[in-house]
Amino acid sequence: MFVCNCNGVRMRDMSAAVDHVAGCGAPTVAAVYAQCGVAPKCGRCKVDIQRMLDDAMRPAQAMAAE
């Protein structure tokens, strides 16, 4: 399944990029695009990428609150 149709980025590649970016402490959509080696075109996938980042950061936020 593709997350970014314009750039042909599949879910597995986007997930790996999100995990990497979240682990580096720079959780931005722009950083995920850069990690994938692409630039946004139509922007429809930005919402999905942000949700993926939010989900990836949730465990870190929960630990910080403890």
Segment 37-65, tens digit of pLDDT: 999 999 999 999 999 999 998 875 555 56
Domain tally, the chain: 1
Tell me which amino acid residue 54 is.
D
How is residue 2 written in tokens? 């593709």
**C-alpha angle 25/49/36, rounded to 5°?**
75
pLDDT at position 63 is: 57
Q: How far is Cα 63 from Cα 66, in angstroms, rounded to an integer?
A: 5
Exposure string of 41-51, with b = 16+ CB inside 10 Å and e = fewer, is: eeeebeeebee
Note down the domain range covering 41. Answer: 2-65
Q: How far is Cα 51 from Cα 8, in angstroms, rounded to an integer?
A: 19
Kindly report the pTM of this predicted structure: 0.84
Segment 4-47, tens digit of pLDDT: 999 999 999 999 999 999 998 779 999 999 999 999 999 999 99
